[in-house]
Amino acid sequence: MAVRMRSLLLLVVSIFLSVTTVYAADDLLLNPIQVAPHTYFVQGFAEMGSSKNQNFISNAGFVITPKGVVVVDALGSPVLAKKLIDEIKKITPQKVVAVIVTHYHADHVYGLQEFKKIGAKIYAQGEGRNYLSSETAKQRLIASRIDFAPWVNASTKLVGADVWIDQSYTLTVGGIEFKIGRVGPAHAPEDLIIYVPLERVLFAGDLVFRGRIPFVGNADSRGWLHALDEIQALNPSIVIPGHGAYSTNPAEDIRFTREYLKYLRESMTKSAVNMDPFEDAYKQTDWSEYEGMPLFRAANRMNAYNVYLSIQAE
């Protein structure tokens, strides 16, 4: 019996070591794309977060000023943040002095601790305080330490802001203005948009998705549609979305997210108001326009259900 137990233990250890070795193979590269004279971004994969992709499923960007670098979003794991810092160093000797958080979803904030280590000041929307103190945030981190191991682990922490923004705010670094707008609740309760007038670049966070089905989660879809109107009113030349390629035709590319949200609401409203079963509403809806897109299977049903519930609460 003891021999069998010892053999079983050795087998378990062997499997663990082999899995850890696979996870630890780190050949993932970030490739900053220049979209304006001083502005760059890195583009995450159109995938669900995993150990294989280190939770690199969202975008982050940065603007180089004469007095330091301003980063927008911190990516989905500390190792990704370190890589982003290294890529910035290849482009400029300027230090990262600020990080602006578009919203407190895991794929945008698990890298914050690495920016704190190098002395950057963190800016985020005030509602983020509620998320950080919530049981949801704690449980999500616990799960992420398993789902994204070893890149998210026991050393990964939730990091709050040094400056909580409760109304529209202008950050000026090296003579370059960053117009930070508080919008929503929309995609999240704590959404921010960041417009850089000098570059005519707008960082939209997860208010804009390109090339994949959006993640709706607990979003306020009606507020999200209003936020898209606010983005368009700024008339930027370039929009960097939270997910997908950057846009040089914002009016056209924002339309995809807008039309998807409108379709969810139109498809779910009658059943939600009449308290008809969600399953019937979902089956009766024609999803053919979207079903071939990345993450349709992973996200669309959940999106529709969350919109169904939110309409009942309106």
pLDDT for res 26: 81
For residue 41, give the nearest of 60, 21, 19, 64 by alpha carbon: 60
7 token code pair? 């053999």
- The rounded distance, in Å, linking the Cα atoms of 311 and 314 is 5
pLDDT for res 9: 37
Distant-in-sequence, close-in-space partners of 236: CB < 8 Å, separation ≥ 6? 195, 200, 201, 202, 250
70 token code pair? 């301003």
pLDDT for res 1: 44
Polymer length of the chain: 314
The DSSP letter of residue 49 is: -
Task: Report strand pairing: 176-182 vs 39-42.
Answer: unpaired
Give 267-294 pLDDT, tens digit per residue: 999 999 999 999 999 999 999 999 999 9
Task: Kindly report whether the peptide bond that precedes residue 250 is cis, defined as omega within 30 degrees of 0.
Answer: no
- The rounded distance, in Å, linking the Cα atoms of 110 and 2 is 43
Q: What residue spans of 275-295 are helical by DSSP H?
A: 278-284
pTM: predicted TM-score of the whole model, two decimal places: 0.91
Task: Say which CATH architecture domain 20-251 belongs to.
Answer: 4-Layer Sandwich (3.60)
The residue extents of the domains of the chain are 20-251
Distant-in-sequence, close-in-space partners of 29: CB < 8 Å, separation ≥ 6? 83
pLDDT for res 25: 54
pLDDT for res 22: 38
Q: Which residues of the chain have pLDDT under 50?
A: 1-24
